Homo-oligomer: A and B are copies of this chain.
Protein backbone atom coordinates (compact mmCIF):
# COMPACT_ATOMS: atom_id res chain seq x y z
CA UNK A 1 0.00 0.00 0.00
CA UNK A 2 1.30 3.39 -0.92
CA UNK A 3 0.59 6.83 0.41
CA UNK A 4 -0.25 9.45 -2.19
CA UNK A 5 -2.48 9.23 -5.22
CA UNK A 6 -1.88 6.28 -7.51
CA UNK A 7 -3.28 4.98 -10.76
CA UNK A 8 -3.67 1.21 -10.82
CA UNK A 9 -3.49 -0.47 -14.19
CA UNK A 10 -4.62 -4.09 -14.55
CA UNK A 11 -4.53 -6.01 -17.77
CA UNK A 12 -4.46 -9.44 -19.34
CA UNK A 13 -3.55 -10.42 -22.91
CA UNK A 14 -2.14 -13.31 -24.94
CA UNK A 15 1.45 -13.95 -23.88
CA UNK A 16 4.20 -12.82 -26.28
CA UNK A 17 7.67 -11.30 -26.19
CA UNK A 18 8.02 -7.72 -25.05
CA UNK A 19 4.81 -6.99 -23.13
CA UNK A 20 6.53 -5.56 -20.05
CA UNK A 21 8.92 -3.58 -22.23
CA UNK A 22 6.06 -2.14 -24.24
CA UNK A 23 3.97 -1.10 -21.22
CA UNK A 24 6.76 0.04 -18.94
CA UNK A 25 8.39 1.83 -21.87
CA UNK A 26 5.16 3.73 -22.46
CA UNK A 27 5.02 4.82 -18.83
CA UNK A 28 8.72 5.67 -18.61
CA UNK A 29 8.33 7.72 -21.78
CA UNK A 30 6.18 10.12 -19.78
CA UNK A 31 8.46 9.90 -16.77
CA UNK A 32 5.86 7.85 -14.88
CA UNK A 33 6.95 6.30 -11.59
CA UNK A 34 5.94 2.66 -11.13
CA UNK A 35 5.53 2.01 -7.42
CA UNK A 36 4.60 -1.64 -7.56
CA UNK A 37 4.19 -4.11 -10.39
CA UNK A 38 3.25 -7.75 -10.74
CA UNK A 39 3.22 -10.15 -13.66
CA UNK A 40 2.03 -13.66 -14.21
CA UNK A 41 1.79 -15.91 -17.21
CA UNK A 42 -0.65 -18.76 -17.06
CA UNK A 43 -0.25 -21.63 -19.44
CA UNK A 44 -2.18 -24.84 -20.06
CA UNK A 45 -1.37 -27.76 -17.78
CA UNK A 46 0.22 -29.82 -20.48
CA UNK A 47 1.60 -27.44 -23.01
CA UNK A 48 3.65 -28.02 -26.13
CA UNK A 49 7.00 -26.34 -26.68
CA UNK A 50 5.51 -23.41 -28.53
CA UNK A 51 2.61 -22.87 -26.16
CA UNK A 52 0.87 -19.58 -25.95
CA UNK A 53 -0.44 -18.70 -22.54
CA UNK A 54 -2.18 -15.71 -21.10
CA UNK A 55 -0.36 -12.83 -19.52
CA UNK A 56 -1.61 -10.90 -16.47
CA UNK A 57 -0.26 -7.68 -15.04
CA UNK A 58 -0.92 -5.02 -12.42
CA UNK A 59 0.95 -1.74 -12.00
CA UNK A 60 0.65 1.05 -9.47
CA UNK A 61 1.85 4.34 -10.93
CA UNK A 62 2.44 7.49 -8.91
CA UNK A 63 -0.31 9.77 -10.25
CA UNK A 64 1.57 13.06 -9.99
CA UNK A 65 4.61 11.67 -11.81
CA UNK A 66 2.55 11.63 -15.01
CA UNK A 67 2.06 14.83 -17.02
CA UNK A 68 -1.60 14.09 -17.77
CA UNK A 69 -4.95 13.03 -16.37
CA UNK A 70 -6.44 9.55 -16.18
CA UNK A 71 -8.60 10.26 -19.21
CA UNK A 72 -5.60 11.22 -21.25
CA UNK A 73 -3.76 8.12 -20.00
CA UNK A 74 -6.67 6.04 -21.24
CA UNK A 75 -6.63 7.80 -24.60
CA UNK A 76 -2.91 7.32 -25.17
CA UNK A 77 -2.67 3.82 -23.79
CA UNK A 78 -5.50 2.55 -25.98
CA UNK A 79 -3.27 2.01 -29.02
CA UNK A 80 -0.85 -0.23 -27.11
CA UNK A 81 -3.71 -2.14 -25.55
CA UNK A 82 -5.24 -2.82 -28.93
CA UNK A 83 -1.94 -3.92 -30.37
CA UNK A 84 -1.48 -6.38 -27.48
CA UNK A 85 -5.16 -7.50 -27.57
CA UNK A 86 -5.54 -6.52 -23.94
CA UNK A 87 -8.46 -6.55 -21.55
CA UNK A 88 -7.54 -3.69 -19.29
CA UNK A 89 -8.73 -1.22 -16.69
CA UNK A 90 -7.20 1.64 -14.81
CA UNK A 91 -8.44 3.09 -11.54
CA UNK A 92 -7.64 6.22 -9.57
CA UNK A 93 -7.06 6.01 -5.81
CA UNK A 94 -8.53 9.52 -5.50
CA UNK A 95 -11.93 8.08 -6.43
CA UNK A 96 -13.20 6.05 -3.49
CA UNK A 97 -14.48 2.61 -4.31
CA UNK A 98 -18.10 1.86 -3.38
CA UNK A 99 -19.07 -1.11 -1.20
CA UNK A 100 -22.60 -2.46 -0.92
CA UNK A 101 -23.29 -4.98 1.83
CA UNK A 102 -26.11 -7.53 1.81
CA UNK A 103 -26.70 -9.15 5.17
CA UNK A 104 -29.06 -11.69 6.71
CA UNK A 105 -29.47 -12.33 10.44
CA UNK A 106 -25.88 -12.95 11.50
CA UNK A 107 -23.78 -10.06 12.70
CA UNK A 108 -20.18 -11.20 12.65
CA UNK A 109 -19.27 -10.17 9.09
CA UNK A 110 -21.25 -6.94 9.22
CA UNK A 111 -19.70 -5.79 12.50
CA UNK A 112 -16.28 -6.70 11.22
CA UNK A 113 -16.66 -4.75 7.98
CA UNK A 114 -18.05 -1.68 9.75
CA UNK A 115 -15.25 -1.75 12.33
CA UNK A 116 -12.70 -1.75 9.52
CA UNK A 117 -14.59 1.04 7.76
CA UNK A 118 -14.82 3.13 10.93
CA UNK A 119 -11.11 2.78 11.65
CA UNK A 120 -10.27 3.84 8.11
CA UNK A 121 -8.57 0.54 7.28
CA UNK A 122 -11.37 -0.13 4.82
CA UNK A 123 -11.29 3.16 2.96
CA UNK A 124 -14.49 3.02 0.91
CA UNK A 125 -17.86 4.64 0.55
CA UNK A 126 -20.74 2.48 1.69
CA UNK A 127 -23.80 3.75 -0.20
CA UNK A 128 -26.06 1.31 1.63
CA UNK A 129 -26.60 -1.92 3.52
CA UNK A 130 -29.42 -4.11 2.20
CA UNK A 131 -31.11 -6.83 4.25
CA UNK A 132 -34.10 -9.15 4.17
CA UNK A 133 -34.45 -8.50 7.91
CA UNK A 134 -34.89 -5.30 9.92
CA UNK A 135 -32.53 -6.49 12.67
CA UNK A 136 -29.51 -4.33 11.86
CA UNK A 137 -31.29 -1.12 10.78
CA UNK A 138 -30.42 0.76 13.96
CA UNK A 139 -26.85 -0.44 14.06
CA UNK A 140 -26.20 0.49 10.44
CA UNK A 141 -27.95 3.84 10.66
CA UNK A 142 -26.02 4.64 13.84
CA UNK A 143 -22.95 4.55 11.60
CA UNK A 144 -24.61 7.08 9.25
CA UNK A 145 -25.09 4.50 6.50
CA UNK A 146 -28.45 4.14 4.71
CA UNK A 147 -30.22 0.84 5.40
CA UNK A 148 -32.73 -0.77 3.03
CA UNK A 149 -35.12 -3.47 4.11
CA UNK A 150 -35.70 -5.65 1.05
CA UNK A 151 -37.63 -8.78 1.95
CA UNK A 152 -37.70 -11.80 -0.35
CA UNK A 153 -41.23 -13.07 0.26
CA UNK A 154 -41.44 -16.83 -0.39
CA UNK A 155 -44.72 -16.32 -2.25
CA UNK A 156 -43.41 -13.56 -4.51
CA UNK A 157 -39.67 -13.81 -4.83
CA UNK A 158 -39.73 -12.06 -8.18
CA UNK A 159 -40.88 -8.76 -6.73
CA UNK A 160 -38.34 -9.15 -3.95
CA UNK A 161 -35.43 -9.69 -6.33
CA UNK A 162 -36.54 -6.88 -8.64
CA UNK A 163 -36.36 -4.61 -5.65
CA UNK A 164 -32.90 -5.81 -4.68
CA UNK A 165 -31.72 -5.43 -8.24
CA UNK A 166 -33.02 -1.86 -8.41
CA UNK A 167 -31.22 -1.03 -5.15
CA UNK A 168 -28.00 -2.54 -6.50
CA UNK A 169 -28.27 -0.59 -9.75
CA UNK A 170 -28.69 2.64 -7.83
CA UNK A 171 -25.90 1.91 -5.36
CA UNK A 172 -23.32 1.36 -8.11
CA UNK A 173 -21.11 -0.80 -5.96
CA UNK A 174 -17.63 -1.67 -7.10
CA UNK A 175 -17.98 -4.51 -4.65
CA UNK A 176 -21.22 -6.17 -3.58
CA UNK A 177 -20.60 -8.32 -0.52
CA UNK A 178 -22.88 -11.12 0.61
CA UNK A 179 -22.01 -10.94 4.32
CA UNK A 180 -23.74 -14.18 5.29
CA UNK A 181 -26.82 -13.08 3.29
CA UNK A 182 -28.14 -16.66 3.11
CA UNK A 183 -30.16 -16.10 -0.05
CA UNK A 184 -29.35 -17.61 -3.43
CA UNK A 185 -29.19 -14.78 -5.97
CA UNK A 186 -31.13 -15.30 -9.23
CA UNK A 187 -28.80 -15.89 -12.15
CA UNK A 188 -29.87 -12.62 -13.78
CA UNK A 189 -28.41 -10.70 -10.85
CA UNK A 190 -25.27 -12.85 -10.85
CA UNK A 191 -24.67 -12.07 -14.51
CA UNK A 192 -25.53 -8.37 -14.28
CA UNK A 193 -22.88 -7.81 -11.63
CA UNK A 194 -20.42 -10.45 -12.80
CA UNK A 195 -17.03 -10.14 -11.13
CA UNK A 196 -18.32 -7.72 -8.52
CA UNK A 197 -20.31 -9.94 -6.12
CA UNK A 198 -18.28 -11.58 -3.35
CA UNK A 199 -19.76 -14.34 -1.23
CA UNK A 200 -18.31 -15.84 1.91
CA UNK A 201 -19.08 -19.55 2.01
CA UNK A 202 -18.77 -21.32 5.35
CA UNK A 203 -16.71 -24.26 4.19
CA UNK A 204 -13.38 -25.02 2.63
CA UNK A 205 -14.62 -25.38 -0.96
CA UNK A 206 -14.97 -27.63 -2.86
CA UNK A 207 -15.78 -29.62 0.28
CA UNK A 208 -19.28 -29.42 1.69
CA UNK A 209 -21.08 -27.50 -1.02
CA UNK A 210 -24.62 -26.40 -0.25
CA UNK A 211 -26.51 -26.21 3.02
CA UNK A 212 -25.25 -26.74 6.57
CA UNK A 213 -21.55 -27.27 5.76
CA UNK A 214 -20.57 -27.35 9.43
CA UNK A 215 -22.98 -30.22 10.00
CA UNK A 216 -21.48 -32.00 7.01
CA UNK A 217 -17.97 -31.41 8.34
CA UNK A 218 -18.94 -32.70 11.77
CA UNK A 219 -20.37 -35.89 10.31
CA UNK A 220 -17.31 -36.54 8.12
CA UNK A 221 -15.00 -36.07 11.08
CA UNK A 222 -12.56 -33.66 9.43
CA UNK A 223 -9.78 -32.19 11.57
CA UNK A 224 -9.80 -28.71 10.02
CA UNK A 225 -12.73 -26.54 8.94
CA UNK A 226 -12.55 -23.54 6.66
CA UNK A 227 -14.19 -20.71 4.80
CA UNK A 228 -13.99 -19.57 1.20
CA UNK A 229 -14.59 -16.20 -0.41
CA UNK A 230 -15.49 -16.49 -4.07
CA UNK A 231 -17.09 -14.51 -6.83
CA UNK A 232 -20.75 -15.37 -7.25
CA UNK A 233 -21.73 -16.98 -10.52
CA UNK A 234 -25.00 -18.59 -11.44
CA UNK A 235 -23.58 -21.97 -10.37
CA UNK A 236 -24.02 -22.24 -6.59
CA UNK A 237 -20.70 -22.27 -4.67
CA UNK A 238 -18.70 -22.91 -7.83
CA UNK A 239 -17.47 -19.40 -8.68
CA UNK A 240 -13.78 -18.40 -8.84
CA UNK A 241 -12.12 -18.63 -5.42
CA UNK A 242 -10.42 -15.47 -4.16
CA UNK A 243 -9.30 -16.52 -0.69
CA UNK A 244 -9.60 -19.41 1.78
CA UNK A 245 -8.44 -20.31 5.23
CA UNK A 246 -8.89 -23.05 7.81
CA UNK A 247 -8.86 -23.62 11.55
CA UNK A 248 -8.07 -26.78 13.51
CA UNK A 249 -10.85 -28.56 15.38
CA UNK A 250 -10.99 -31.86 17.22
CA UNK A 251 -13.33 -34.59 18.42
CA UNK A 252 -14.42 -32.61 21.45
CA UNK A 253 -15.97 -29.84 19.36
CA UNK A 254 -19.72 -29.89 18.82
CA UNK A 255 -21.45 -28.57 15.72
CA UNK A 256 -22.14 -25.38 17.67
CA UNK A 257 -18.42 -25.03 18.35
CA UNK A 258 -17.66 -25.44 14.65
CA UNK A 259 -20.18 -22.73 13.81
CA UNK A 260 -18.55 -20.43 16.33
CA UNK A 261 -14.94 -21.10 15.22
CA UNK A 262 -16.08 -20.81 11.63
CA UNK A 263 -17.29 -17.25 12.14
CA UNK A 264 -13.75 -16.11 12.95
CA UNK A 265 -12.47 -17.62 9.72
CA UNK A 266 -15.38 -16.32 7.67
CA UNK A 267 -14.94 -12.71 8.62
CA UNK A 268 -11.17 -12.75 8.23
CA UNK A 269 -11.26 -14.45 4.84
CA UNK A 270 -13.99 -12.10 3.63
CA UNK A 271 -12.08 -9.02 4.75
CA UNK A 272 -8.89 -10.18 3.07
CA UNK A 273 -10.62 -11.07 -0.21
CA UNK A 274 -12.53 -7.78 -0.21
CA UNK A 275 -9.30 -5.84 0.20
CA UNK A 276 -7.70 -7.68 -2.72
CA UNK A 277 -10.78 -6.96 -4.82
CA UNK A 278 -10.96 -3.27 -3.92
CA UNK A 279 -7.26 -2.77 -4.57
CA UNK A 280 -7.67 -4.30 -8.05
CA UNK A 281 -5.46 -7.21 -7.09
CA UNK A 282 -7.81 -9.92 -8.38
CA UNK A 283 -7.87 -10.76 -12.09
CA UNK A 284 -10.31 -13.32 -13.42
CA UNK A 285 -9.12 -16.15 -15.62
CA UNK A 286 -11.99 -18.44 -16.46
CA UNK A 287 -13.06 -20.04 -13.22
CA UNK A 288 -9.83 -19.19 -11.44
CA UNK A 289 -8.31 -16.02 -10.06
CA UNK A 290 -4.89 -14.43 -10.22
CA UNK A 291 -4.39 -12.56 -6.93
CA UNK A 292 -1.43 -10.15 -6.92
CA UNK A 293 -0.62 -9.55 -3.29
Contact = CB atoms under 8 A, between A and B. Distances in A.
Interface of A: 1, 17-18, 20-22, 24-25, 27-29, 31-42, 45, 65, 106-108, 111-112, 114-116, 118-119, 121, 138-139, 142, 204-208, 215, 218-224, 226, 240-246, 248, 250-252, 254-257, 260, 263-264, 268, 271, 287-291, 293
Contact of A221 (B41, B108, B241): B241
Contacts of A34: 20, 39
Contact of A256 (B1, B116, B251, B260): B1
A28 B22 contact: yes
28 contacts: A1-B254, A1-B257, A17-B28, A20-B28, A21-B24, A21-B27, A24-B24, A34-B39, A37-B39, A38-B38, A45-B219, A107-B118, A107-B119, A108-B115, A111-B115, A204-B204, A204-B207, A205-B220, A206-B207, A206-B208, A206-B222, A220-B287, A220-B288, A222-B244, A223-B244, A250-B293, A252-B293, A264-B271
The complex is assembled from copies of this chain, and their number is 4
Given A45-B255, A224-B246, A251-B288, 14 more contacts: A1-B257, A17-B31, A20-B37, A25-B25, A35-B41, A45-B218, A108-B115, A108-B119, A112-B115, A142-B142, A205-B222, A223-B241, A251-B289, A264-B268
A267 to B, nearest CB: 9
Closest A-B pairs by Cβ, 8 of them? A221-B288, A111-B115, A21-B28, A18-B28, A21-B24, A20-B24, A251-B290, A223-B244
A17 B111 CA distance: 42
